[in-house]
C-alpha cells in the first residue's frame, strides 16, 4: 500500500486510542504501534519493489520473445519462398528426366542398329579371313620354290667365290710386300724427322746456355749468331718435313731469344684505345689524371685536338691505355680487390662462377666472399656511370666506365665512396665490403658483352689436351713408399693436383680451367706432378674414379693464374 493511504489510518487509530484510554497511559503504546506500523510499511514497500522488478523482467522477456517470433516469421517466409523455388526446380527436373528418357530410347535404338551392323561386318571379316588363309598357303608354296632357286644360286656363287679367292691370293702376297716396303720407308722418314728434332733441341739448348752466360761471356754472341744460320736451315727442313703450326710457338721463342742475343729489346708496349665521351665541365688534364695517361699521348691519339684547353662536351676521345694495366690479374685481384692468388684462398673466395644459374638467371659475373671491411679501389681510371642501389639483388653498386661499352661493375657493397658522374683515378677507393656471405659481385663488360672475369684476368695458354689419371695408373701397390706421391714429393689430391710438363708449366703453377668451374675447386688446379706421357701442351688431372679417368679426353681452354715454384708446394 502507498504511504498516503496508510498514514490517515494511523491517525484515526491514534485518536480512537486516545478516546478509549487516558492520554498518559496510552502514549507509549501508541508510539510503539506507530514504529511497528512504520516497519511493516517499509517491508511492504520493499516487497512491492521486488514484485515490480520481476514484472519488468517478465515484460522484457516477453518483448524478446516477440522479436524472436518476428524473426521466425521472416525465416518462415524465406522458407516458403525457397519451397516455391524448389517446387519449380523439381518441375524442371521432371521435364529434364522425361527428355532423358526420350534420349535413352533413341540411344537404345541406335545401339541395336550398331549391333546389327557389327554382326554383318563380323560375317564379312570371317569370309575375308578364309580368303587370306588360302592366299597365305599359296604364298608359302611360292616361297618354298623361291628358296630352292636361291639355294641353287648361292651354291653357284660359292663356287665362283672360291675361284676368285684362289686368283687373288697371289695379289694379296704382292700387296703385303708393297706394304712392308712402305712401312720401312715411313720409319726411315720418322727417324729422319726425329734426328731433325734432336738437332733443333741441341741448338735451342746451346742458345739457352749462351743466354745464361751472356753477362760473363759476351764474346760468345758471334758463335750464337753463327748457329742461327744452322738453326734456320734446320727450321726450313723441319717446315718441309713437319707441320709448321706444330712448331710455331718454338720458332717464336727462338726468334725472341735471338733478338735478345743481338741486343734488340722489346720496347713496343701493347696498348688499347678506349673511347671516352667528354662530359660538360671536364678538362683534358682531369681526363689524363683519371686514366693515368699524359695529355701529350691523348693528343697524339686524337689529331683533331690541337689545343688541350679546347675540348667540348660530348666529344669522343680515344684514350691509349696499356693492356697489361687493364688486364693484370695481380693488379686487379691482389691490389684492387684484396684477393690472394693461391689455391686455398680461391676455394673460399669464389662463391658463384660466371654462367652459374641463380634464382632462374645466369650469373653474368662472379660472386666473391672477401674479408669484411675491405676497401675496393678502381683498377683503372674512368667515369662512374652509376653509384647507388641498383636493385635488391645487386644492392649498393658502382659501375665504372673505362670506355664506350667497356665497364667494370662492383655490386653488393656495404658502403659507396663515389657518386654518379665522378671521374676516378686508378687506385681510388670506390666502396667497402660488408659481412654477408657474398659481399662483392664483380662483372667485366667489353663492347657491351659480359665476360667471365676469371678468364679475363688470367693469361690464356690456349686449348690444351686434358686427360685424367688415378693413383693406380703407375702400377704401384698401396704398401709402396711412393704410392700416391707426386713427382714433387707431395701427396696427390683430387680437385687440386694436375700433372704437366715442367718445361711448359713449372711445378707449383696455379691454373684455371673453366670447364671444371662447377667442381668444388671452382676450376683451380696446382701443377704438382708430371709423367712420361705428359709432354708439351698436355695436362693430366688427378681423380679417384678409374672409369672417368679412362674415358675422359678433351681439348679445353686453360688459363695461367700464377707461375709457381716447387718450394711453394705444401
For the segment 456-499, what is each residue's pLDDT rounded down to a tens digit? Answer: 778 889 999 999 999 888 778 888 888 888 888 889 999 999 99
Strands (E), 341-494: 350-352, 357-358, 361-362, 366-368, 375-377, 382-389, 396-401, 407-413, 415-416, 423-424, 429-432, 440-446, 449-451, 459-469
* Residue 558: Cβ within 10 Å count: 26
Work out the average pLDDT over 388-411: 87
For the segment 297-337, what is each residue's pLDDT rounded down to a tens digit? Answer: 889 889 888 888 888 887 888 888 764 455 444 556 666 66
Query: Where in the sequence is the domain holding 236, given as residue range(s)?
Result: 192-262
Q: ∠152-153-155 over CA atoms, to 5°?
A: 65
CATH of the domain at 284: 3.10.350.10
pLDDT band, very low/low/confident/very high, at 249 (cuts 50, 70, 90): very low
**pLDDT for the residue 525:** 95
**pLDDT for the residue 356:** 84
Number of domains the chain contains: 5
Phi and psi based region of residue 427 (left: phi greater than 0; alpha: psi -120 to 50; beta: remaining): left
- Tell me the three state secondary structure of residue 564: coil
Reported for 193-202, long-range contacts at CB under 8 A and 24+ positions apart, including other chains, are: 193/238, 193/241, 193/242, 196/234, 196/237, 196/238, 196/241, 196/242, 197/238, 199/234, 200/231, 200/234, 200/235, 200/238, 200/250
For the segment 198-213, what is each residue's pLDDT rounded down to a tens digit? Answer: 555 555 555 555 555 5
Q: Which of 99-103, 148-152, 275-279, 350-354 has the lowest mean pLDDT?
A: 148-152
Phi and psi based region of residue 82 (left: phi greater than 0; alpha: psi -120 to 50; beta: remaining): alpha
**pLDDT for the residue 515:** 93
Does 150 score more than 90 pLDDT?
Answer: no
Is 438 in contact with 352 (CB distance < 8 Å)?
A: yes
- Report yes or no on 171 lying in a domain: no
Residues 46 and 156 in one domain: yes
| Pairwise pLDDT comparison (27 vs 221), residue with the higher score | 27
- Tell me the three state secondary structure of residue 299: helix
Residues 464 and 452 in one domain: no
- Report yes or no on 338 lying in a domain: yes
- Tell me the three state secondary structure of residue 494: coil
| Of the candidates 258, 270, 255, 245, the residue with the CA atom closest to the CA atom of residue 462 | 245
* Overall pTM surpassing 0.85 (yes/no): no
Domain-ending residue, one of 456, 471, 490 = 456
Residues 256 and 236 in one domain: yes
- Report yes or no on 177 lying in a domain: no
* Residue 78: Cβ within 10 Å count: 10
How much of the chain exceeds pLDDT 90, in percent? Answer: 14
Work out the average pLDDT over 447-454: 85
Is 289 in contact with 297 (CB distance < 8 Å)?
A: no
**pLDDT for the residue 327:** 46
- Report yes or no on 10 lying in a domain: no
pLDDT band, very low/low/confident/very high, at 351 (cuts 50, 70, 90): confident
| Of the candidates 562, 539, 339, the residue with the CA atom closest to the CA atom of residue 458 | 562
Phi, psi of 352 (to 5 degrees): -130, 135
Residues 230 and 296 in one domain: no
Residues 197 and 290 in one domain: no
Q: ∠90-93-99 over CA atoms, to 5°?
A: 150
- Report yes or no on 176 lying in a domain: no
Domain-ending residue, one of 440, 456, 472 = 456
Q: What is the mean pLDDT of the chain?
A: 75
Instruction: State how far the alpha carbon of 553 is from the alpha carbons of 79, 234, 465, 550, in Å.
Output: 84, 33, 7, 8
**Cα(250)–Cα(234) distance, integer angstroms:** 13
Does 388 score more than 90 pLDDT?
Answer: yes
Residues 94 and 208 in one domain: no
What is the distance of C-alpha 427 from the center of its chain?
Answer: 31
Enumerate residues 6+ apart whose C-beta is below 8 A from 108. Answer: none
Q: Where are the alpha helices (DSSP H) in 213-268?
A: 221-241, 248-262
- Report yes or no on 323 lying in a domain: no
Residues 278 and 384 in one domain: no
What is the distance of C-alpha 245 from the center of its chain?
Answer: 37
**Cα(35)–Cα(492) distance, integer angstroms:** 121
Residues 423 and 373 in one domain: yes
- Report yes or no on 135 lying in a domain: yes
**Cα(382)–Cα(482) distance, integer angstroms:** 55
Domain-ending residue, one of 426, 441, 456 = 456
- Report yes or no on 169 lying in a domain: no
Is 475 in contact with 411 (CB distance < 8 Å)?
A: no
| Pairwise pLDDT comparison (169 vs 521), residue with the higher score | 521
The residue whose grid cell reads 560375317 is 123
Residues 229 and 277 in one domain: no
**pLDDT for the residue 469:** 93
Residues 404 and 336 in one domain: yes
Residues 442 and 503 in one domain: no
Residues 422 and 508 in one domain: no
Does 278 score more than 50 pLDDT?
Answer: yes
CATH of the domain at 509: 2.40.40.10
**Cα(474)–Cα(534) distance, integer angstroms:** 13
Amino acid at each position: 500500500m502507498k504511504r498516503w493511504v496508510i498514514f490517515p489510518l494511523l491517525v484515526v487509530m491514534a485518536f480512537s486510542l486516545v478516546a478509549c484510554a487516558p492520554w498518559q497511559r496510552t502514549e507509549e503504546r501508541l508510539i510503539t504501534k506507530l514504529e511497528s506500523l512504520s516497519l511493516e510499511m517499509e517491508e511492504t514497500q520493499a516487497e512491492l519493489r521486488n514484485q515490480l522488478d520481476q514484472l519488468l523482467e517478465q515484460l522484457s522477456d516477453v518483448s524478446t520473445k516477440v522479436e524472436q517470433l518476428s524473426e521466425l516469421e521472416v525465416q518462415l517466409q524465406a522458407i516458403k519462398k525457397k519451397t516455391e523455388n524448389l517446387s519449380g526446380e523439381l518441375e524442371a527436373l521432371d521435364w529434364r528426366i522425361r527428355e532423358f528418357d526420350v534420349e535413352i530410347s533413341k540411344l537404345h535404338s541406335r545401339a541395336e542398329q550398331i549391333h546389327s551392323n557389327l554382326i554383318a561386318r563380323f560375317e564379312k571379316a570371317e569370309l575375308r579371313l578364309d580368303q587370306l588363309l588360302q592366299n597365305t598357303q599359296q604364298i608359302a608354296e611360292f616361297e618354298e620354290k623361291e628358296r630352292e632357286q636361291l639355294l641353287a644360286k648361292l651354291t653357284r656363287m660359292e663356287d665362283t667365290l672360291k675361284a676368285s679367292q684362289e686368283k687373288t691370293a697371289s695379289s694379296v702376297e704382292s700387296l703385303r710386300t708393297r706394304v712392308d716396303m712402305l712401312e720401312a720407308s715411313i720409319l726411315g722418314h720418322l727417324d729422319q724427322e726425329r734426328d731433325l728434332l734432336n738437332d733443333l733441341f741441341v741448338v735451342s739448348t746451346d742458345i739457352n746456355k749462351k743466354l745464361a752466360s751472356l753477362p760473363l761471356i759476351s764474346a760468345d754472341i758471334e758463335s750464337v749468331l753463327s748457329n742461327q744460320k744452322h738453326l734456320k736451315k734446320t727450321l726450313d727442313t723441319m717446315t718441309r718435313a713437319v707441320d709448321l703450326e706444330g712448331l710455331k710457338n718454338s720458332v717464336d721463342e727462338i726468334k725472341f731469344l735471338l733478338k735478345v742475343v743481338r741486343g734488340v729489346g722489346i720496347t713496343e708496349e701493347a696498348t688499347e684505345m678506349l673511347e671516352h665521351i667528354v662530359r660538360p665541365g671536364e678538362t683534358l688534364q682531369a681526363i689524363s689524371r683519371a686514366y693515368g695517361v699524359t695529355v701529350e699521348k691523348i693528343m697524339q691519339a686524337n689529331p683533331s685536338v690541337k689545343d688541350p684547353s679546347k675540348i667540348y662536351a660530348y666529344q669522343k676521345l680515344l684514350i691509349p691505355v696499356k693492356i697489361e694495366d687493364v688486364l693484370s690479374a695481380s693488379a686487379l685481384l691482389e691490389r684492387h680487390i684484396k684477393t690472394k692468388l693461391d689455391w686455398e684462398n680461391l676455394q673460399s673466395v669464389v662463391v658463384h662462377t660466371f654462367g652459374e644459374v641463380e634464382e632462374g638467371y645466369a650469373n653474368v659475373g662472379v660472386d666473391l666472399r672477401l674479408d669484411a671491411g675491405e676497401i675496393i679501389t678502381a683498377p683503372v681510371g674512368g667515369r662512374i656511370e652509376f653509384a647507388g642501389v641498383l636493385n635488391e639483388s645487386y644492392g649498393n653498386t658502382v659501375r665504372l666506365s673505362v670506355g664506350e661499352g667497356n665497364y667494370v661493375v662492383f655490386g653488393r657493397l656495404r658502403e659507396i665512396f663515389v657518386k654518379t658522374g665522378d671521374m676516378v683515378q686508378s687506385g681510388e677507393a670506390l666502396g667497402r665490403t660488408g659481412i654477408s656471405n657474398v659481399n662483392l659481385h664483380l662483372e667485366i663488360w667489353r663492347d657491351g658483352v659480359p665476360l667471365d672475369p676469371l678468364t679475363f684476368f688470367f693469361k690464356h695458354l690456349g686449348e690444351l689436351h686434358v686427360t685424367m689419371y688415378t693413383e693406380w695408373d703407375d702400377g704401384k701397390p698401396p704398401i709402396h713408399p711412393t704410392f700416391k706421391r707426386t713427382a714433387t714429393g707431395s701427396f696427390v689430391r683430387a680437385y687440386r693436383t694436375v700433372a704437366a710438363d715442367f718445361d711448359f708449366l713449372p711445378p707449383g703453377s696455379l691454373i684455371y680451367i673453366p670447364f671444371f668451374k662447377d667442381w668444388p675447386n671452382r676450376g683451380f688446379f696446382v701443377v704438382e706432378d708430371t709423367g712420361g706421357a705428359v709432354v708439351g701442351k698436355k695436362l693430366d688431372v688427378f681423380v679417384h674414379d678409374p672409369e672417368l679417368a679412362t674415358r675422359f679426353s678433351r681439348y679445353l681452354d686453360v688459363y695461367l693464374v700464377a707461375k709457381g715454384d716447387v718450394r711453394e708446394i705444401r
